[in-house]
């Protein structure tokens, strides 16, 4: 009888319920790995056990944050805590708070595939104001039903096992001792909660952060397995503004990295039109002509039109995105502003004064316009287009025809590109026009009349890549006989990658590989240039090509200037990457953790950090100089050229 009563002691029951959540978090971690195992090649059973062990630390922290109120109300030294209604109310609190946490964890089963990190607090800013967010939510629930069923299974276990053990009000022989014991438990429980939330009971140890997950993996890209989504959101919800860094003095800093551009020759601008085409989720992997060596040289890809266009265009043997989300890409491509740790458009500095490509060209008499087939407000593109200098923004609401909507994101690519071509014929020249496609996106459905027409592949997006490639073909066919065509520079790139097919692209190099294509009809812009290109290079490259004659600030490089070493960089959360001299440097908390040769080590399996000290030093200094410059210019709102009075 006494043993039975001990098992019903309110503190034992509380410990049981907290342990239940920890077990379910570990089970979710297993589910996360199983669902995305192709994204984590090389994880051995021994390493996964170490991941589970390390993950427990982050699970304890998240569990304390989630259940803080629940725990506090359970340890109150008053008998009303045994009341049936009180306990019932607490059970609902427990189910709702933990249920939301596990729902977020399960949603990351899918979301991780797109951003390659556990969701952080900026996820709320990413979808804030998105007109179709509710429709997208339910569509994802049904389309990714295995993750949904797993979440329901976790919920079922939580409710079922929670109710298996319930506290029983004790009948103490010594009432005074009972009261004193209950009071003393409060500071003990409080101390354990603080230690659990911090990840340590040692006061001299800093609270655990996302970067601490790297301790438990051999490859930094596997940290998502160690973390859980609620922890990632909690730890980034109060993200502090950037901090100024002082790695170098000002003179040394400018020698290593300087985003201030001064035209070397004051020659007349060409007056060419510019069209920037941003393709949704168009990873470089999907383009056959850019991957001749894949599948033993037999790979053809899914873009027959782009392949033909690339044969008369200038491309680059390495080309990379500066982020993993669309809201990272727009500032990068159209204003040469990358997103370091937090997407620029939802950072503390989103209202800084900037001059994007449109601002610069508008000063030279260019008409500037941005086209996006989604509802106005989607992803905040309309706001950034306006901030970066675009004169007009054309969206779903301005589309004059009916029956061309996909029912989810907006207008199908083929009719919207046709509409873009129609409007382009009426633009005053010179013009800068940019268009962002949207069909190559979940739920990966082609228009009814084109079903079965495009090549399918091992990932669902492949067919949509073919459809958007077809939309591009029709677009170029429609404008090729227009008077402005031969006087127009076309730049084609992608916002980010999507699901990978080949192991060569399932790493920190392939995850960011997007095309950067420059096409000018009947020009000398042809061939494959041995150079690293990135999205933030597009603005300075265009301005240089047009002989832009004013000073400007751009974080990227001029791809036509071979007088200096090319490089690219990006971040995924607090993990920084620098691509330079055929190597990729991975840095966490400003400390290098990996150096890989992406030319000879296609799968990034051999960390040469200890064998290349000189190269490591050069790349670490370059990356630190980029971070110092970026932070300082954003903090000081120093992103435009200040005119001397």
Average pLDDT over residues 87-108: 94
Residues 6+ apart with CB under 8 A from 559: 316, 516, 529, 531, 533, 537, 541, 566
Over the stretch 259-283, which tens digit does the pLDDT of each residue have? 999 987 778 889 999 999 999 999 9
- pLDDT tops 60 at residue 1: no
Average pLDDT value for the chain: 90
* CA angle, residues 98, 113, 332, in degrees to nearest 5: 110
Average pLDDT over residues 216-240: 81
pLDDT at 645: 41
Q: Are 554 and 336 in contact (CB under 8 A)?
A: yes
Q: Which helix (H) or strand (E) holds 576?
A: strand 575-580
- pLDDT tops 70 at residue 544: yes
Report the distance separating Cα 503 and Cα 343, nearest Å. 28
Report the distance separating Cα 289 and Cα 286, nearest Å. 9
Phi-psi sector, 241: left (phi>0), alpha (psi -120 to 50), beta: beta
For 277, the token pair is 């085409």
* Confidence class for position 2, pLDDT limits 50, 70, 90: very low
Closest C-alpha to 95, from 155, 153, 151: 155
Over the stretch 314-368, which tens digit does the pLDDT of each residue have? 999 999 999 988 989 999 999 999 998 888 887 778 778 889 999 999 999 999 9
The alpha carbon dihedral of 435, 441, 445, 446 has a sign of positive
- Reduced to 3 states (helix: H, G, I; strand: E, B; else coil), residue 279 is strand
Closest C-alpha to 495, from 288, 304, 290, 339: 339
Average pLDDT over residues 558-575: 91
For 544, the token pair is 């240089």
pLDDT at 81: 85
Q: Tell me where in the chain the CATH 3.40.720.10 domain(s) lie.
A: 250-635
Average pLDDT over residues 551-560: 96
Report the distance separating Cα 25 and Cα 4, nearest Å. 28
- Reduced to 3 states (helix: H, G, I; strand: E, B; else coil), residue 560 is coil
pLDDT at 179: 80
Average pLDDT over residues 195-201: 81
Q: Are 604 and 598 in contact (CB under 8 A)?
A: yes
Average pLDDT over residues 126-133: 63
The alpha carbon dihedral of 444, 447, 448, 449 has a sign of negative
pTM of the model: 0.79
| Prior bond of 430 cis (ω within 30°) | yes
Phi-psi sector, 589: left (phi>0), alpha (psi -120 to 50), beta: left
Report the distance separating Cα 107 and Cα 152, nearest Å. 12
Report the distance separating Cα 232 and Cα 253, nearest Å. 33
- Reduced to 3 states (helix: H, G, I; strand: E, B; else coil), residue 505 is helix
Q: Look at 36-40, 207-211, 503-507, 596-600 and tell me which has the smallest mean pLDDT.
A: 207-211
| Prior bond of 43 cis (ω within 30°) | no
pLDDT at 188: 87
* Confidence class for position 7, pLDDT limits 50, 70, 90: low
Q: For the chain, give the percent of residues with pLDDT over 70.
A: 95
Closest C-alpha to 465, from 276, 279, 328: 279
Report the distance separating Cα 580 and Cα 427, nearest Å. 40
The CATH number corresponding to 250-635 among 3.30.465.10, 3.40.50.1100, 3.40.720.10, 3.40.50.720 equals 3.40.720.10
Find the radius of gyration of the CA atoms of the chain: 27
pLDDT at 10: 87
Report the distance separating Cα 640 and Cα 645, nearest Å. 15
Q: Highest mean pLDDT: which of 168-177, 348-357, 620-629?
A: 620-629
Q: Look at 195-204, 378-387, 597-606 and tell me which has the smallest mean pLDDT.
A: 195-204
Closest C-alpha to 585, from 537, 556, 622: 622
For 193, the token pair is 């909660």
Closest C-alpha to 471, from 277, 285, 634: 277
Q: Are 122 and 342 in contact (CB under 8 A)?
A: yes
pLDDT at 49: 93
Closest C-alpha to 107, from 75, 154, 64: 154
Report the distance separating Cα 137 and Cα 60, nearest Å. 29
- pLDDT tops 60 at residue 5: no
Average pLDDT over residues 291-311: 95
Closest C-alpha to 557, from 539, 570, 581, 582: 539
Over the stretch 441-491, which tens digit does the pLDDT of each residue have? 888 999 999 999 999 999 999 999 999 999 999 999 999 999 999 999 999
Report the distance separating Cα 54 and Cα 212, nearest Å. 9
For 408, the token pair is 């989810």
Q: For the chain, give the percent of residues with pLDDT over 90.
A: 66
pLDDT at 604: 94
Q: Could you say which DSSP state residue 503 is in?
A: G
* Confidence class for position 3, pLDDT limits 50, 70, 90: very low
The residue whose two tokens read 């980029």 is 626
Over the stretch 49-87, which tens digit does the pLDDT of each residue have? 999 999 999 999 999 999 999 999 988 888 888 889 999
Closest C-alpha to 633, from 193, 356, 259: 259
């Amino acid at each position: 009888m006494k043993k039975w009563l001990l098992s019903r002691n309110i503190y034992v029951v509380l410990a049981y319920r907290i342990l239940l959540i920890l077990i379910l978090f570990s089970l979710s971690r297993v589910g996360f790995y199983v669902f995305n195992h192709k994204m984590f090649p090389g994880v051995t059973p021994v390493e996964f056990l170490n991941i589970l062990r390390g993950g427990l630390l982050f699970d304890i922290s998240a569990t304390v944050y989630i259940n803080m109120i629940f725990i506090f109300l359970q340890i109150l030294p008053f008998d009303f805590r045994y009341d049936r209604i009180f306990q019932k109310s607490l059970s609902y609190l427990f189910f709702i708070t933990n249920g939301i946490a596990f729902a977020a964890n399960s949603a990351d089963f899918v979301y991780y595939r797109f951003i390659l990190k556990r969701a952080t607090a900026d996820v709320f800013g990413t979808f804030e104001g998105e007109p179709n967010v509710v429709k997208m939510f339910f569509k994802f629930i049904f389309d990714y039903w295995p993750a949904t069923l797993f979440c329901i299974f976790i919920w079922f276990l939580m409710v079922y096992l929670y109710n298996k053990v319930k506290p029983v009000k004790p009948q103490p022989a010594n009432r005074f001792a009972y009261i004193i014991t209950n009071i003393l438990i409060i500071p003990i429980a409080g101390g354990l909660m603080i230690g659990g939330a911090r990840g340590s009971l040692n006061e001299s140890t800093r609270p655990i952060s996302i970067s601490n997950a790297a301790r438990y993996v051999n490859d930094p890209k596997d940290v998502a397995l160690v973390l859980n989504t609620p922890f990632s959101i909690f730890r980034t919800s109060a993200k502090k503004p950037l901090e100024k860094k002082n790695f170098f003095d000002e003179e040394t800093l400018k020698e290593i990295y300087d985003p201030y551009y001064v035209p070397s020759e004051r020659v007349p601008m060409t007056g060419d039109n510019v069209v920037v085409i941003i393709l949704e989720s168009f990873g470089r992997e999907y383009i056959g002509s850019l991957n001749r060596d894949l599948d033993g040289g037999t790979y053809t890809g899914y873009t027959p039109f782009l392949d033909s266009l690339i044969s008369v265009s200038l491309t680059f043997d390495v080309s990379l995105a500066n982020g993993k989300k669309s809201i990272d890409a727009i500032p990068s491509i159209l204003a040469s502003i990358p997103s370091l740790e937090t997407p620029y458009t939802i950072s503390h500095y989103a209202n800084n004064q900037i001059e994007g490509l449109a601002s610069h060209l508008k000063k030279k008499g260019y008409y500037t316009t941005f086209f996006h087939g989604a509802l106005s407000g989607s992803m905040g593109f309309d706001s950034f287009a306006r901030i970066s200098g675009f004169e007009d923004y054309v969206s779903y609401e301005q589309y004059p025809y009916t029956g061309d909507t996909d029912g989810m994101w907006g207008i199908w690519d083929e009719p919207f590109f046709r509409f873009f071509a129609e409007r382009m014929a009426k633009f005053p020249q010179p013009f800068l026009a940019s268009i962002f496609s949207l069909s190559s996106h979940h739920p990966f459905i082609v228009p009814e009349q084109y079903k079965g027409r495009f090549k399918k592949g091992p990932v669902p997006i492949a067919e949509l890549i073919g459809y958007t490639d077809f939309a591009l073909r029709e677009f170029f066919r429609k404008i090729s006989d227009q008077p402005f065509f031969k006087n127009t520079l076309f730049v084609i790139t992608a916002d980010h990658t999507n699901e990978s097919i080949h192991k060569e692209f399932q790493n920190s190099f392939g995850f960011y590989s997007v095309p950067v294509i420059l096409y000018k009809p009947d020009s000398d812009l042809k061939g494959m240039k041995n150079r690293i290109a990135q999205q933030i290079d597009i603005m300075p490259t265009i301005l240089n090509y047009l002989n832009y004659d004013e000073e400007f600030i751009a974080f990227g490089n001029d791809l036509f200037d071979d007088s200096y070493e090319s490089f690219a960089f990006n971040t995924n959360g607090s993990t920084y990457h620098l691509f330079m001299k055929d190597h990729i440097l991975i840095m966490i908390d400003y400390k290098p953790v990996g150096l890989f040769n992406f030319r000879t080590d296609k799968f990034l399996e051999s960390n040469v950090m200890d064998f290349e000290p000189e190269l490591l030093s050069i790349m670490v200094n370059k990356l630190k100089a980029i971070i110092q410059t970026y932070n300082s210019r954003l903090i000081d709102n120093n992103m435009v050229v200040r005119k001397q009075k």
